[in-house]
Amino acid sequence: MAGLVGYTKGYISAVETGVSKPTTAFLHAYERALGVDEGSLAASAEQAISQVLTTAQAGLMPEPPKIDPSLLPVANKGAVLEGVQSILLQAIAMVTAAAKQSPWPGAEIVVTFQSEHDPLTVFPELAIPWRSALRQALHAGWNVVHLWRLRIENQHRFELIARMLSMLGYRGKYQPYLFPNHVLPGAPADVIIVPGQGALWLFGSRQSKHVDSGFFFAPDSPHYQLMSQFATMMRSQTQPLLEVYPERSLDFKALALQFEAEDGAQLLLKEGLSFQSMPIAIRSACIQRILQAPLVRSLQEQTHLELWCQQLLDHHRQRVHLFEQFLQDRQHEARHVVTKTAILRLLSDGELPADDWLRDQPQSQLTLAEALAWLRHVIWLLQVYPNYQLAIVDAIDPAYFPVAWKVEGRQTLILESWQVTDTEDGRENVNIIIHDRTIAHSFRDHFFTYWERLANRERNKDAVIDWLQQHVSQPVKL
């Protein structure tokens, strides 16, 4: 490949793994070497990112698809399985049978896909039934642990992430983990463990690219226990690829705070102003109004609300200090993109951004004085810190903005999939943290591409400050 592209192996590897950003000339040379149309790689990346964001926004549904009743197990007792189709049919039958039963405490379905090609790419006809079976099990409350080994191609990673997002939002947890690159399998070998149904030991007996044969062990077989122990050992070598938290999880807040301290740029795309730019005094005053609202609450409800609000205020205080330190260090830049309508609603109605956990609380609206103070502080940040940039846009393309998303540092992507308007589809709002350097790198490039497409009046710092000052000097009264 190095000879065809005309670049060193080191540079090609750095681009493919997300360490370096490819130049336009490199992309054209790479496309010629692959024999694809000019510009197709960049277009493919945008399509992949859009797919991930759209799935995060709309793919978390409570009811899974139905299973085709004609899919039957290959074996009901210990057996030798030959061929990818036989392997998948047996796995689908095992997971489907488990989905008809309630899981017992601590029981998990464990699946490993670590071959160069997973079985679903070899026999795609059974991909939908397999995923449907997993979603049925998740809907029934089963936790599914999936151990993956990712190839370096961006497209493969994005397709995989998009598929994973459709597994979220059920009673059971879908938990994907990654094998580090240095933990390499000598030959294709995988396991599938379904409590109460059996275990599959899979391997490649005819070639080295994917599994094509295997043994099925019934749950009462001594082999089953050994396979379960082996799966536990494999899991210990992995690291989580993504983590999912309920919409108002304080654990998510705490973890996201850790990633805000990561080394690297901070890129944010959301509806309203970042809470990092809200002065602590404004947040505190808002919380005091909420706690003092003339509502009938039990002592327990009031105590719980006070504790929850105090935790949010403590978290807010840490975020503000961390952001100020980030800007003062001036080693990396922060770029935020927000909408004009959100700022105008803040001024006219005191309305907090859509992703604010306090937004639905009585008396949560800011006073006009507080809204103006927030905007003046944003202006001050823009004037004092050259590494802080804010774009204020008329609207954000839904392809970029079905969810709020943020790239932290060099390897973490945060998706906050709250909904802008109320819907009746029953999907659960969740917060997703993706730990993958290549995915984060691609979203970073996607952000910069979007930024460069903005009109100068939307992203030029002087123009943005002028727009803010104009609305501060002539505010719309509440």
Domain ranges of the chain: 2-58, 79-240, 244-473
Q: What is the pLDDT of residues 214-243, one digit of tens each?
A: 999 999 998 999 999 999 998 888 888 888
261 Cβ neighbours under 8 A, 6+ residues apart: 322
What b-and-e string marks burial along 182-198, b requiring 16 or more CB atoms within 10 Å of the CB?
eeeeeebbbbbbbbebb
Query: What local confidence, expressed as pLDDT, does residue 368 receive?
Result: 94
Res 47 pLDDT > 50: yes
3-state DSSP call for residue 366?
A: coil
On the question of pLDDT at 467 being above 60, the answer is yes
Place 18 in a pLDDT band, splitting at 50, 70 and 90.
very low
> What mean pLDDT is predicted for residues 36-51?
56
Kindly give the residue spans of alpha helices, DSSP state H, lying in 24-126.
24-34, 40-58, 84-99, 119-122
Q: What percent of the chain has pLDDT over 90?
A: 34
Give the span between the Cα atoms of 298 and 361, in whole angstroms.
16
* CA–CA distances in Å: residue 408 to residues 123, 263, 275, 375: 37, 8, 15, 24
Query: What is the rounded CA–CA span in Å between residue 289 and residue 210?
Result: 61
Angular region, 18: left φ>0, alpha ψ -120 to 50, beta rest: left
Q: How far apart are CA 129 and CA 138, in angstroms?
A: 14
| pLDDT digit string, tens, across residues 118-138 | 788 788 888 888 988 999 999
Average pLDDT over residues 40-49: 56
Asked if the model's pLDDT at residue 245 lies above 80, the reply is yes
Please give the residue that has the higher pLDDT: either 212 or 375. Answer: 375
Q: If pLDDT is split at 50, 70 and 90, which confidence band does 64 have?
A: low
Q: Are strands 143-148 and 108-113 parallel, antiparallel or unpaired?
A: parallel
Q: What is the pLDDT of residue 239?
A: 85
Q: Which CATH number fits domain 79-240: 3.30.830.10, 3.30.70.20, 3.30.870.10, 1.10.150.170?
A: 3.30.870.10
Distance (Å, rounded) from C-alpha 202 to C-alpha 218?
15
Q: By C-alpha distance, which of 58, 50, 48, 52 is closest to 418?
A: 58
Spatial distance between the Cα atoms of 312 and 318, rounded to a whole number of angstroms: 10
> Phi and psi dihedrals of 299, rounded to 5?
-60, -40
Secondary-structure breakdown of the chain: helix, strand, coil percentages, each rounded to the nearest 5: 45, 15, 35
Residue 390, amino acid: L
Cα 138 to Cα 452: distance, rounded to the nearest angstrom: 41
Contact 110, 231 (CB under 8 A): yes
Kindly provide the b/e burial profile for residues 399-427, where b requires at least 16 CB atoms within 10 angstroms of the residue's own CB. Answer: ebbbbbbbbbbbbbbbbbbbbeeeeeeeb
Indicate whether 268 pLDDT > 90.
no
Fold designation for 244-473: Endonuclease; Chain A (3.30.870)
Angle between helix 127-139 and helix 84-99 axes, rounded to 10 deg: 20
CA atoms of 107 and 112, how far apart (whole Å): 16
Lowest mean pLDDT among 16-30, 165-179, 321-335: 16-30
Contact 110, 235 (CB under 8 A): yes
Position 76 scores a pLDDT of 66
Q: Per the structure block, which two tokens stand in for 470?
A: 């104009």
Asked if domains 79-240 and 244-473 share a fold, the reply is: yes
pLDDT at 431: 81
Q: Which of 55, 239, 84, 244 is nearest to 159 (CA)?
A: 55
Distance, in Å, from the CA atom of 134 to the CA atom of 163, rounded to the nearest integer, reads 12
Q: How far apart are the first and last CA of the chain?
A: 63
